[in-house]
């Protein structure tokens, strides 16, 4: 009998197909035509091929836009939103619109021509996470922005271009995205009812249950969420309550670097180098500091969602927000838990 | 300058990339390996290859599960939900779940081995729409169900199996899907504020504006929605207010058959036979008949959404519900309006 499971945060129902559960080898990884783009604009030595850097983590006394960096942040050459101009919010008959103002940056994750983030050291991954944090903090100064989304598209089937150089992207948005709003509203509803953070409750239950737990290292857990939409969908959450990713300290960043590397290594081995996306879910800019439910940040909890792209999304999913997941999260977690890298 | 446009129903923002607008030839249609499955279980004469029919539209004095049918509805042989059993709603720690109870039927749209719905006559399409209506009405008798979703996956890249025989699917669900709830809530909010149906307002504005209008035939319009998420996304709406698809009469079904055929023909020609999905959006079962906003059905409006699958959805879209559409709806509508078939 398949199961219908409800996501405890946003209330989305997911069909978990327990009958004919798909195992790692049942997924066919699309092998994209990966003709290499040369020279690679993201490699050290080719800094002139990108727009000038916005920020870099680099060796002392090296010059901007020259080699010597570990992580380099540059504007996206073909940005989806433009950084300059006014929002000019306006109606169009019954409709609403504004100018496509926003930031779109590329975080180049290594000076070397390396495709997989999991091949980097956990110290290097910690530097990348530090760059994420710094960029989110810096962009808050721009009052036009309400949210910063940080995400990675690994391989073309996950939306990346064909350049095989490890990187992620940042988009600063002038409107809080709908699904972020949904997550915040759902988490608040739970908080109002229970006086507890729903994510904290998830972390507790998963640590106790163990069935959906993949890793429990230092201050972080990696889990297969109870109502996972996708096979091998994995969330990394800090055990300690925190709404805002930018509140993370250096020790925690180092721990997170280890956990992220380990999860990606295992996924890579178990699922034969799948395309994947990850997204950092964090609180929006300028949330009001208090509400009748107490300090407002008590109700939300930042985390990272990693989604290997193993299945196609069909009409059913688009039409309903109702997902069919052919791999029960308990099995996905077991496989990932037992993978040795 | 790209534009940010807000969907007037559910409040989702979409980035319309006006700078480098993609035209029909800019999309690469994935050619799937379409090795034919033979014999085809959906062809007349092979009725024994499917589970026994639930309903058919067939010539008088022909026998069930024998040739003589025009449209045939059968249970899905590998259903995503099971028809028999109790829901058994229950907690799992902090989580909620129930049994995967539901109906999953296949609507076989022609007795002949035809791949494209657009190759069928509009009279045949009207028969298919009649079968949809009858199945939704019939399943309402099962009190376990809250919503019936009718959708088509055309070609493997849109989620279909490799059998090249024109069909659609029905899934009856024990919970109202999240995105349906979002649409109902958004439409109600608009109604409370304006005392008008948001879809009726959209139809009026699009007929007057003409820029996003593709077809205006009899009682229906086909439009490119103002905040379309996908290139060449197309909606078909009845001009006359109606919340419930099953309230459609025979004349309107014939008209809808013509409009649907015409839209699919044009899309097929313009975009070189793209994979696509369509979904019927209709009111859920057993909505309370009245509310303080008057008759509750005044706020919703059934329609069909057609989505050609031309782009990949990447991390950004998953993470935010924020879509990037590289083809402005005005250009998409112009192309579709001017396509001669």
pLDDT digits (tens, 9 = 90+) for A50-85: 999 999 999 999 999 999 999 999 999 989 899 999
Q: Which residues of A touch B178 (CB under 8 A)?
A: 10-13, 320-322
Which residue on chain B is closest to A306 by alpha carbon? B315
Mean pLDDT, range A121-126, rounded to an integer: 98
Which residue on chain B is closest to A170 by alpha carbon? B316
Query: Is the pLDDT assigned to residue B296 strictly greater than 80?
Result: no
Q: Is residue A28 part of a domain?
A: no
* Residue B294: per-residue pLDDT: 62
Out of B177, B278, B314, name the one closest to residue A277 (CB): B314
A324 Ramachandran zone, left/alpha/beta (phi>0; psi -120 to 50): beta
The per-residue b/e assignment along A81-107, b for 16 or more CB within 10 angstroms, e otherwise, is: beeeeeeeeeeeeebbbbbbbbbbbbb
CA-to-CA distance for A284 and A292, rounded, in angstroms?
Answer: 19
| B169–A316 CB contact, under 8 Å | yes
Query: Is the pLDDT assigned to residue A111 strictly greater than 90?
Result: yes
pLDDT digits (tens, 9 = 90+) for B158-178: 888 889 999 999 999 998 888
Q: Which residues of A touch B93 (CB under 8 A)?
A: 205, 209
Domain range for A72 is 3-22+39-338
To the nearest whole Å, the CA of B165 is away from the closest chain A CA by 17
| A8–B95 CB contact, under 8 Å | yes
* Residue B17: per-residue pLDDT: 84
Q: Which residues of A touch B151 (CB under 8 A)?
A: 314-316, 319
CA-to-CA distance for B168 and B54, rounded, in angstroms?
Answer: 15
| B175–A85 CB contact, under 8 Å | no
A320 pLDDT band (50/70/90 cuts)? low
To the nearest whole Å, the CA of A161 is away from the closest chain B CA by 11
To the nearest whole Å, the CA of A70 is away from the closest chain B CA by 24
- Token pair, residue A26, equals 């049942």
Query: Is the pLDDT assigned to residue A199 strictly greater than 90?
Result: yes
pLDDT digits (tens, 9 = 90+) for A252-311: 999 999 999 999 999 999 999 999 999 999 999 988 766 655 666 889 999 999 999 887
C-alpha to C-alpha distances, B170 to A316, B48, B144, B173, B304, nearest whole angstrom: 9, 21, 16, 10, 14
Mean pLDDT, range A317-333, rounded to an integer: 83
* Residue B1: per-residue pLDDT: 85
Out of B95, B177, B322, name the one closest to residue A226 (CB): B95
CA-to-CA distance for B139 and B208, rounded, in angstroms?
Answer: 38
pLDDT digits (tens, 9 = 90+) for B62-78: 999 999 999 999 999 98
Q: How many domains does chain A have?
A: 1
Which residue on chain B is closest to A158 by alpha carbon? B314
To the nearest whole Å, the CA of A101 is away from the closest chain B CA by 8
* Residue A333: per-residue pLDDT: 97
Question: φ, ψ for residue B187 (rounded to 5)?
Answer: -65, -35
This prediction's pTM:
0.93
| A6–B96 CB contact, under 8 Å | yes
- Which of B15, B77, B204, B315 to mutate: most A Cβ within 10 Å? B315
- Which of A314, A324, A326 to mutate: most B Cβ within 10 Å? A314
* Residue B18: per-residue pLDDT: 78
CA-to-CA distance for A61 and A107, rounded, in angstroms?
Answer: 21
Out of A97, A157, A205, name the one closest to residue B3 (CB): A97
- Of B126, B104, B259, which Cα lies nearest the Cα of B171? B104
Which residue on chain B is closest to A208 by alpha carbon? B93
CA-to-CA distance for A37 and A317, rounded, in angstroms?
Answer: 34
- Which of B301, B320, B327, B329 to mutate: most A Cβ within 10 Å? B320
Q: Is residue A278 part of a domain?
A: yes
| A277–B20 CB contact, under 8 Å | no
Which residue on chain A is closest to B147 by alpha carbon? A320
C-alpha to C-alpha distances, B143 to A5, A19, B84, B234, B286, nearest whole angstrom: 20, 25, 13, 33, 9
B279 Ramachandran zone, left/alpha/beta (phi>0; psi -120 to 50): beta
Q: Which residues of B touch A153 (CB under 8 A)?
A: 314-316
B289 pLDDT band (50/70/90 cuts)? low
Q: Which residues of B touch A85 (CB under 8 A)?
A: 1
Cβ-Cβ pairs closer than 8 A, A with B, add up to 225
CATH assignment at residue A165: 3.30.428.10
Q: Which residues pair with A104 in a beta bridge?
A: A171
A324 pLDDT band (50/70/90 cuts)? confident
* Residue A19: per-residue pLDDT: 74
Q: Which residues pair with A173 in a beta bridge?
A: A147
Out of B18, B100, B179, name the one closest to residue A2 (CB): B100
Mean pLDDT, range A98-117, rounded to an integer: 96
Question: φ, ψ for residue A110 (rounded to 5)?
Answer: -160, 145
To the nearest whole Å, the CA of A63 is away from the closest chain B CA by 32
**How many Cβ atoms from other residues are within 10 Å of residue B65's Cβ?**
14
CA-to-CA distance for B132 and B122, rounded, in angstroms?
Answer: 15
A180 pLDDT band (50/70/90 cuts)? confident
Q: Are A147 and A177 in contact (CB under 8 A)?
A: yes
pLDDT digits (tens, 9 = 90+) for B14-72: 888 877 678 888 887 666 666 777 899 999 999 999 999 999 999 999 999 999 999 99
Q: Which residues of A touch B94 (CB under 8 A)?
A: 8, 198, 201-202, 205
Out of B3, B157, B179, name the one closest to residue A321 (CB): B179
Q: Is residue A29 part of a domain?
A: no
To the nearest whole Å, the CA of A77 is away from the closest chain B CA by 13
| B97–A4 CB contact, under 8 Å | yes
CA-to-CA distance for B238 and B303, rounded, in angstroms?
Answer: 7
B318 pLDDT band (50/70/90 cuts)? low
Of B251 and A1, the one with more pLDDT: B251
A186 pLDDT band (50/70/90 cuts)? very high
Out of A80, A182, A314, name the one closest to residue B159 (CB): A314
| A320–B173 CB contact, under 8 Å | yes
Beta-sheet strands, E only, within B191-269? 213-217, 220-223, 234-238
- The single-letter DSSP state of residue B104 is E
- Of B202, B208, B201, which Cα lies nearest the Cα of B225? B202
Query: Is the pLDDT assigned to residue B231 strictly greater than 80?
Result: yes
**How many Cβ atoms from other residues are within 10 Å of residue B312's Cβ?**
15
């Amino acid at each position: 009998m398949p199961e219908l499971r409800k996501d405890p945060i946003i209330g989305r129902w997911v069909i978990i197909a327990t009958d004919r559960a798909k195992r790692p080898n049942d997924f066919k990884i699309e092998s994209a035509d990966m003709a290499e783009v040369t020279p690679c604009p993201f490699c050290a030595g080719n800094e002139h091929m990108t727009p000038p850097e916005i920020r870099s983590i680099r060796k002392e006394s090296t010059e901007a836009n020259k080699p010597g960096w570990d992580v380099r942040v540059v504007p996206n050459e073909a940005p989806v939103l433009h950084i300059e101009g006014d929002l000019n919010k306006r109606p169009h008959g019954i409709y609403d619109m504004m100018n496509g103002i926003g930031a779109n940056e590329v975080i180049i994750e290594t000076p070397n021509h390396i495709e997989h983030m999991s091949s980097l050291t956990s110290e290097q991954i910690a530097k990348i996470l530090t760059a994420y944090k710094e960029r989110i903090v810096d962009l808050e100064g721009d009052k036009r922005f309400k949210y910063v989304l940080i995400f990675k598209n690994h391989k073309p089937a996950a939306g990346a271009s064909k350049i095989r150089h490890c990187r992620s992207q940042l988009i600063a948005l002038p409107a809080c995205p709908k699904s972020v709003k949904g997550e915040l509203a759902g988490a608040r509803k739970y908080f109002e009812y229970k006086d507890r953070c729903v994510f904290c409750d998830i972390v507790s239950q998963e640590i106790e249950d163990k069935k959906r737990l993949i890793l429990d290292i230092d201050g972080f857990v990696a889990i297969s969420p109870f109502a996972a939409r996708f096979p091998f969908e994995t969330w990394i959450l800090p055990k300690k309550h925190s709404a805002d990713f930018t509140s993370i300290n250096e020790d925690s960043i180092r721990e997170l670097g280890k956990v992220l590397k380990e999860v990606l290594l295992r996924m890579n081995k178990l699922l034969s180098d799948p395309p994947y996306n990850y997204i950092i879910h964090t609180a929006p800019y300028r949330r009001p500091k208090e509400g009748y439910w107490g300090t407002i940040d008590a109700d939300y909890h930042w985390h990272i969602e990693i989604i290997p792209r193993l299945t196609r999304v069909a009409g059913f999913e688009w039409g309903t927000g109702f997902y069919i997941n052919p791999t029960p999260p308990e099995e996905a977690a077991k496989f990932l838990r037992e993978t040795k890298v």
